[in-house]
Amino acid sequence: MSSIKVFESNPKGRDFVVGDIHGHFKLLASLLEKVDFNTQQDRLFCVGDLIDRGPDSIDVLKWLSEPWFYGVRGNHEQMLIDCLSGRGDINRHTRNGGAWLYALSPSVQNEIYNLLQTLPVMIEVNLSDGRKIGIVHAEAFLSCATQSWQDAKDAISGMRGESAQQQALKTALYARERIEQQNQAPIIGLDKLYVGHSTVPHVHTLGNVVYTDTGCSFSDGTLSVIDIVTGEVSHVSMRLLHDSLGAGL
């Protein structure tokens, strides 16, 4: 696992961040069409939880092979990795939308396992105007003294010791403390940090942390994408998708 992946600015096109996809890759395709996404110029970053619950989880293999699609590891990717490595709880994973995996052949399961293990825990993107944005699934592991993005990077990379690294990984995949406390304190060293994991009715900002998971795994939810430079939000409703499928469109 590469804990951190850094991207330089995109001189050719736009950069987008999308919330938790949860196996709804057809919905994602509709959303990219809505924003006129250009696969030759634009880039798409996902905040994790690409898989489980939705009908197209196996398509993660195809999407992650695209040169313009990037993601961080979410808790659902971690559940899959843990289960296939013999450390996880398969019944728990199945209850949380992972049944699709165990219907696949062992060779395909192994292919998905190997691919998801390559996902970084944190992504950093440098923008052409000098701003820097971060992406992590749940929360960044911050020092109480500094609230610094650099501290979070040092912890997840192992520079602060194994114990801090394990705590940083747990925080990155599972934490909800900031949103539960409605913490508005800014993270130092970033323009914005984009996260998922905690479902919100619409894209929501606390300090400079942007919550992007608008619940596409629920029948009344949406999948949202944000233009990183402009901040413009676009979304596609699950309800509209169900209506179109029901109409045979």
| Mean pLDDT in consecutive groups of 10 residues from the start of the chain, 249 residues | 90 97 96 97 98 96 98 98 97 97 98 97 96 97 86 92 93 96 96 98 97 94 97 90 52
Q: Where are the domains of the chain?
A: 4-246
In angstroms, the CA 111 to CA 123 distance is 23
Which residue type does 241 have? L
* Matching residue, tokens 């995996």: 101
> Can you give the pLDDT at residue 240?
65
Give 37's contacts (C-beta < 8 A, 6+ positions apart).
16, 44
Whether 137 sits among the annotated catalytic residues: the reply is no
Cα angle vertex 99, ends 95, 105, to 5°?
155
Fold topology of 4-246: Purple Acid Phosphatase; chain A, domain 2 (3.60.21)
Burial of 95 (0-12, 13-18, 19+ CB in 10 A): exposed
DSSP 205: E
Measured N-to-C along each axis, helices 75-84 and 162-174 cross at an angle, to the nearest 10 degrees, of: 120
Token couple for 125: 């993107």
> Can you give the pLDDT at residue 248?
45
> Can you give the pLDDT at residue 145?
73
Q: Which of 76, 93, 137, 197 is catalytic?
A: 76
